[in-house]
A and B are shown apart, each in its own frame.
Chain A
Amino acid sequence: MCRNTNKFLELLKPEYNDAVNYCRALCAGWSPDEAEDVLQQALLSGLEGFASLNNTEKFRSWFFKIITRTFYSSVRRHFWKKFIPMDKIQSDIPEIYPRSELNEERLTIGSALSRLSSKERAAVLLFEIAGFSIEEIRQMQNEKSTSAVKSRLSRARKKLRRYIEEPENVNTAGSKIKHSKIPFEGSEYSGGDIKNETIKLAAELRTRK
Chain B
Amino acid sequence: MKQSNSLQNSEQENKSREEFPGRFKSVLKNEDYNSSFNRVETWLRNKSVQKKNTKNERNLVKMKNYFFSHKIRFAYAVIFLALVVAACNMPVTTHENVGNMITWSVDKNNSDAINKIEKLPWLKTADQVNKNGNTNNGNEGIVYTVIFQKSTEEEIASFRNDLENIGVSSLKIIPFNNDVKRPLYSAALNDFFSININAAGMSDEELQTEVQRQLKEEGVEMNIQFKTDASGKRNISIVNLKGNKSNTPKSYEINIDDKNGQEKIKLMQKNANPDLFKGKTDREIKDYVKEKNPELNLKDNDIKITHENGCVRVDVERKNVKK
Contacts and interface: CB of A to CB of B under 8 A. Distances in A.
Partners in one complex: yes
Interface of A: 1-2, 5, 8-9, 13, 16-18, 20-21, 24-25, 43-44, 47-48, 83-85, 87, 92-97, 103, 105-106, 109, 124-125, 127-129, 133-134, 153-154, 157, 160-161, 164
B28 A109 contact: yes
B29 A18 contact: yes
A9 B48 CA distance: 11
Given A94-B39, A109-B24, A43 B44 contact: yes
Contact of B34 (A17, A48, A125): A17
B16 interface: yes
Contact of B13 (A17, A105, A133): A133
12 contacts: A5-B45, A9-B45, A16-B40, A24-B31, A47-B47, A84-B73, A97-B33, A106-B27, A127-B13, A128-B28, A134-B13, A157-B16
Count class of interface residues, chain B: 35 or more
B29 A153 contact: no
B44 A129 contact: no
Residue in A2, A17, A44, A95 whose Cβ sees the most chain B Cβ within 10 Å? A17
Given A94-B40, A105-B23, A161-B21, 18 more contacts: A1-B48, A1-B52, A17-B33, A20-B33, A24-B31, A25-B28, A48-B51, A87-B66, A92-B43, A96-B36, A96-B39, A103-B27, A127-B13, A128-B25, A134-B9, A134-B13, A157-B16, A157-B20
A127 to B, nearest CB: 7
Contacts of A160: 20
Residue in B13, B45, B70 whose Cβ sees the most chain A Cβ within 10 Å? B13
Contacts, number: 93
A92 B46 CA distance: 11
Contacts of B47: 44, 47
Interface in B63-95: 66, 70, 73-74, 77
B17 interface: yes
B32 interface: yes
B304 to A, nearest CB: 35
B24 A85 contact: no
Contacts of A87: 66
Nearest to B36: A96
B41 interface: yes
Contact of A157 (B19, B27, B36): B19
Contacts of A2: 48
A97 B17 CA distance: 27
